[in-house]
Amino acid sequence: MTKQTLAQTIDEDTYVYLLDLQREWKRTLPKLRDHDALKLFPEAKVCIREKIREWEGVRDKFSESIKTRLQELREYDDEFSKWFWKEWLKHTDGSQLMGAERHIKRLKWLLYSKNKQTSDKGRITQSDIEYAGSVPLEELVDVQLRTGGKTLFGLCPFHEERSPSFHIYPEQNRWHCFGCGESGDSITFIQLRQGLGFIEAVKYLTGLSV
């Protein structure tokens, strides 16, 4: 039975109640993150290195393309044309370049967390903090997300709502909720979601013991 058919056979209050139950059930389902998947399939380490090389090739391709196009724009006399094509470049090749950079950062983080030595237990470094802050928010959020322009959005995990006001900005790896006003990065998200302090959140994100 589709949602539309269900909505036609029961009253609105019951339908909304059932939707709320469904959302709550989805929130309780365990979400397998990349970090957890790597623990289950350690042999994927070789594949990750290969994927990093592939994405570095994509990054270099678009980086070279942007450089070439910017050199061509220097020949333009019309300032409006220069501005227009720079904006076009930013939203095409530039967007692809940033996407490749995000993938490289995510995959390198996976290798880092896999290779982290137990001797680091009990302390964190600036490198730990940087890696923790670079963990993709999409890997941490336990609500269903949809794409809207350059953002991802969904129901806020920090307060009850029916209209999605929680937004993720992948290029900056930041989040903001227009409903409750909370915002931050990956570390802040885990602090709020797991009820952890800063150090404990960094350890959680880097795979160290909390």
If phi > 0 it is left, if psi is from -120 to 50 it is alpha, else beta; for residue 30 that is beta
The CATH number linked to 184 is: 3.90.580.10
Tokens 């970090």 sit on residue: 35
Is 148 part of any domain?
yes
How deeply is 206 buried, as exposed, middle or buried, from its count of CB atoms within 10 A (0-12, 13-18, 19+)? buried
Please enumerate in sequence order all residues whose Cβ is within 8 A of that of 142, keeping only pairs 6 or more positions apart, or say none: 27, 31, 157, 193
Determine the pLDDT at residue 9: 61
For the record, the structure tokens of 160 come out as: 């009850």
Is 26 part of any domain?
no
- Phi, psi (degrees; rounded to nearest 5) at 21: -65, -40
> Which residue segment(s) compose the domain that 69 sits in?
31-115
For the stretch 142-161, pLDDT in tens is: 888 888 888 899 999 999 99
- Phi, psi (degrees; rounded to nearest 5) at 143: -125, 160
Same-domain pairing of 64 and 125: no
Longest CA–CA separation in the chain, Å: 66
Same-domain pairing of 66 and 144: no
* DSSP assignments along 96-114, one per residue: HHHHHHHHHHHHHHHHHHH
Determine the pLDDT at residue 123: 75
Is 19 part of any domain?
no
Q: Give the pLDDT band of residue 118 (cuts 50, 70, 90).
A: very low
Same-domain pairing of 128 and 107: no
Domain boundary among 63, 85, 115: 115
For the record, the structure tokens of 47 come out as: 């594949």
Same-domain pairing of 42 and 107: yes
Same-domain pairing of 128 and 209: yes
Same-domain pairing of 207 and 129: yes
Q: Are 163 and 134 in contact (CB under 8 A)?
A: no
Same-domain pairing of 122 and 208: yes
Is 73 part of any domain?
yes
Q: Are 182 and 174 in contact (CB under 8 A)?
A: no
Q: pLDDT averaged over the chain?
A: 80
Same-domain pairing of 35 and 78: yes
For the stretch 75-117, pLDDT in tens is: 888 888 889 988 888 888 888 888 888 778 777 777 765 555 4
Same-domain pairing of 125 and 48: no
Domain boundary among 60, 94, 115: 115
